[in-house]
Amino acid sequence: MKKGKLIILVAPSGAGKSTIAHKLFKDFEQLKFSVSATTRKPRTGEVNGTHYHFLTPAEFEERIAEKDFLEWEEFYGGTRYGTLRSEVDKNLKSGYFVLLDVEVKGAVNIKELYGNECLGIFIKPPSMEVLKQRLIARGTENNESLALRLERAKEELTYSDRFDRVIINDDLEAAYAQVKRAVEEFMNSN
């Protein structure tokens, strides 16, 4: 069986990354999601092991010490997120293309580790004002968390040139068509 490859979708929070990822899963059956780990509490409807591996801060710390993460990051008031190496490896060994939904700095590290075996796609909002309106419309942010996310987005946007493709999500269907084409090309390349 041929070993799989990695596909990373990267974007500031609210740029449309999760919506695009869901569409990819509908169109590509050979695509598997790598479930990230986090120390944050589950949101309504989220299931442990499906949406995230919800870990206590002590469990997360233990996993760091064991070098179980390909990448991890701490932000938003101490909340940690990370990509478990075991999640990625089991799917790659089974021949799947693994889709990672990770933070920018972690994505840069993974891209460097996997090189040409990894396609990195950066999804950009058309503007900071549009991003702000999208975050407000989600209804999950208070004023403080909104300000933190927008500040973080400004920094994340400076990393866009480190990825294979940069796609502006001004129109979801047009942006998705570009992402889908890039994924098809990558899957069909040797």
Rounded-to-integer distance, Cα 100 and Cα 35, Å = 8
> Does a structural domain hold residue 108?
yes
Asked if the structure places residue 13 within a domain, the reply is yes
* Averaged pLDDT for residues 112-123: 94
Q: Is residue 61 part of a domain?
A: yes
- The verdict on residue 113 lying in a domain is yes
pLDDT value of position 101: 82
Q: In the predicted model, what is the mean pLDDT of residues 28-33? A: 93
Residues 149, 14: contact at Cβ < 8 Å? yes
In which domain, by residue range, is 32 found? 6-188
Task: Provide the domain count of the chain.
Answer: 1
Does any domain span residue 78?
yes
pLDDT for residue 142 = 87
Average pLDDT, the chain: 92
Cα separation values, 56 from 38, 53, 78, 82, 103, Å: 8, 10, 12, 13, 20
Q: What is the CATH number of the domain that holds 12?
A: 3.40.50.300
Joined together, the tokens standing for residue 14 give: 């609210």
Burial class from Cβ neighbours inside 10 Å (0-12, 13-18, 19+) for residue 124 reads buried
Residue 1 in domain: no
pLDDT band, very low/low/confident/very high, at 29 (cuts 50, 70, 90)? very high
pLDDT value, residue 1:
62
CB atoms near residue 89 (< 10 Å): 14
Residue 12 placed within a domain: yes
φ, ψ (nearest 5 deg) of residue 137: -65, -25
- Reply yes or no on whether the pLDDT at 190 is more than 80: no
